[in-house]
Amino acid sequence: MQQDEVAARVRQVIDATGVSAREFARRIVIDPSKLSRSLNGTRRFTAAELARIADIGGVDVGRLIGATAGAAGEVTAGAAATPSTVRSPSPSRSPSPSPEGGRPLQIVRETVRLIAERGFHAVRVADIATACHTSTAAIHYHFPGRDELLEAAVRWCMDEDTRRRAEATAGTRHAGDELRLLIELQTPRTEQQRRQWCVWLDLWAEAARSTTVGRLHVEYYRQWRGTVADVIRRGVEQGVFRPVDADGAALALTALIDGLASQVLAAEPGLPGTGAPAMHDALIAHVDACLTAPVSG
């Protein structure tokens, strides 16, 4: 029953923010399906998730979970609500104004930026706190450990990448144009694209060592290859592409994109034939040679 009560209070917080459940999930940096399962009572909210929900909603954690205050300001939820302990922010200090999107989203954005600049293992929690103009305690309040912070950073990068692709290709009808646009979006031309790719390279390495990040990595690439395969299938139907195995072609093309992007980032800037334009030209040549249907007549 207590778990249902917690879910009901979280629903009230979401309603009060005036955003969709999916947008709220983005702000507290969890997968929308996890939020949905927790709201439906088939999954328990973790202590860190409840802390982030309280931060976004501007409510007290103890009131959110219906807990009682213990010693040293500790707020303990009943066993049915969460297996962990949630610590409320110190009442002696006035909270700083919450940044746009909430503190958790700011923390994740700054984490991603610092990973791109320095690499994940060179980024300390203190560095993230400095970038967010807050304390290390505030970082740990929302993300108790580095593993959880990395998982949130991975999710945010994946969501942003998916969002940018959806916005850029909205309304595109010609499959050939859409595929070339997807290639352009994945080519590290701009400084922002280079930063994004630097983060991806770090995340690939972590995916090889972390089961959680590895699962996220597999799921993201399943969706990414599926997007490319769908475009290729539509192109075959339109007569733009020659009849091919869409799934196999998508696997080859996405692998080629990753390999070429890695070489671009690793090469000395300005070295002839190793930059983003050369990568883009090579990808388009691959599409033309392997996919594009010959013009009849």
The three-state (H, E, C) secondary structure of 33-63, written as one string: HHHHHHHCCCCCCCHHHHHHHHHHHCCCHHH
pLDDT for the residue numbered 198: 87
pLDDT for the residue numbered 99: 59
Residues listed for the chain: 297
Burial of 43 (0-12, 13-18, 19+ CB in 10 A): middle
| Helix 246-266 × helix 276-290 angle, to 10° | 160
Look at residues 142, 62, 65 and name the one whose alpha carbon lies nearest to residue 99: 142
Q: Tell me the C-alpha to C-alpha distance, in Å, between residue 14 and each of 9, 43, 139.
A: 9, 17, 22
Write out the H or E segment, with its range, that includes residue 32: helix 32-39
- pTM greater than 0.85 (yes/no): no
| 273 CB-near residues (< 8 Å, 6+ apart) | none
pLDDT for the residue numbered 6: 87
Look at residues 180, 162, 163 and name the one whose alpha carbon lies nearest to residue 172: 180
pLDDT for the residue numbered 255: 94
Given a contact cutoff of 8 angstroms between Cβ atoms, the answer to whether 64 and 53 are in contact is: yes
Given a contact cutoff of 8 angstroms between Cβ atoms, the answer to whether 50 and 59 are in contact is: no
pLDDT for the residue numbered 88: 43
DSSP string across 249-275: HHHHHHHHHHHHHHHHHHSPTT-TT-S
Per-residue pLDDT of the chain (297 residues; tens, 9 = 90+): 577 888 898 999 999 988 888 888 878 878 888 899 999 988 888 877 888 888 888 888 777 777 544 433 333 333 333 334 444 444 333 444 555 567 888 899 899 899 989 988 889 999 999 999 999 998 988 888 887 888 888 888 888 888 888 888 888 889 999 999 999 888 888 887 888 888 888 878 877 777 777 788 888 899 899 999 999 999 999 999 999 999 999 999 999 999 998 888 887 666 666 688 888 899 999 999 999 988 664
Using CA atoms, how far apart are residues 286 and 179, in angstroms rounded to an integer? 12
Strand segments (E) across 29-133 = 68-69, 74-76, 85-87
| 63 CB-near residues (< 8 Å, 6+ apart) | 9
Using CA atoms, how far apart are residues 100 and 102, in angstroms rounded to an integer? 5
pLDDT for the residue numbered 263: 86
Coil, strand, or helix at residue 216? helix
Coil, strand, or helix at residue 74? strand
pLDDT for the residue numbered 216: 81
